Amino acid sequence: MTEIDAVLQLALAQQGDRYDNTMPTNVADPDPDHFDCSGLVRWSCARAGLTPLLPWSAYQQAQLCVSNGTDLSVDAAIATRGALLFKLPGVVDVMALKSRPDGAHVAFSLGDGHTMEASGHNQPIGMLSARGRPWTHGGRIPGVDYASKATTHVIPSTTDEEDDVIKIIYFSGSAAGEAHAYVVSGVTAKHLSPEALELHAQFKTEVLGSPQAPFGKAWQDGIALLDGPLQNIA
């Protein structure tokens, strides 16, 4: 059975990717650069080995939880690592829905009051606070094992979908004068392409260091670099 930790590790590795709800994410792609909210859930589950594929839409994913008896209260979902949190405004009976309600949204709960999600066009994929937000429904993903041990993540504190929860940090490379930009959240970092760096500039993501004055090796201690040329720094 697919374990929830495998699903979440895949989702968490997408921090810093862009939000795009105009182009479906291909589940056969091992490292897409864009997601919408339900696409992140669907892709992460598919890459972790869950079959059959989850539905495309957040409301259909909520219906799947209800029809399989894995629906949860919002409070229970916030407290359950890997549960799904749904925002379906004005909806009481999920199973009565025939189309996507305006404002529908889904996020992964990390079980500690935070989420991992694709929250919208003005925010790269990342972690946010789950507290004080208008969630309406929750559920465990059918077919996923929730008994696996949790992996600890350092998560920045925020209370709003609009808040910045990540930073861009320049790390020095192996060659003299070489520097690379990474998007960093907690103790994980992902190498940024020039296109992604330009996108973050539009979002005005906070930047530490520069290509001319990177933060150096002292800043790399304890950072898990997920991809790119700086994977194996001692």
Q: What is the DSSP track for 46-74?
A: HHTT-SSPPPSSHHHHHHHHHHTT-EE-H
pLDDT for 191? 77
Q: Do 139 and 71 meet the contact criterion of CB atoms below 8 Å apart?
A: yes
CA distance 47 to 53: 10
Residues 227-232, mean pLDDT to the nearest whole number: 41
Q: Residue 149's pLDDT band (boundaries 50, 70, 90)?
A: low
Is pLDDT above 70 for 227? no
CA distance 154 to 21: 28
Q: Do 83 and 40 meet the contact criterion of CB atoms below 8 Å apart?
A: no
Q: Residue 222's pLDDT band (boundaries 50, 70, 90)?
A: very low
Q: What are the helix (H) ranges across the chain?
A: 4-12, 37-47, 58-67, 74-78, 194-203, 216-220
Average pLDDT along the chain: 83
CA-wise closest residue to 39 among 20, 63, 17 = 20
Strands 207-208 and 167-172: parallel
CA distance 41 to 214: 34
For 2-145, CATH number out of 1.10.3720.10, 3.10.450.230, 3.40.50.970, 3.90.1720.10 equals 3.90.1720.10
pTM over 0.95: no
Task: Map out the domains of the chain as residue ranges.
Answer: 2-145, 167-225
Q: Do 170 and 214 meet the contact criterion of CB atoms below 8 Å apart?
A: yes
Lowest-confidence pick of 27-31, 35-39, 53-57, 161-165:
161-165
Q: Residue 234's pLDDT band (boundaries 50, 70, 90)?
A: very low
Lowest-confidence pick of 3-12, 34-43, 192-201:
192-201
Report the sign of the C-alpha dihedral through residues 200, 48, 66, 25, in that order.
positive
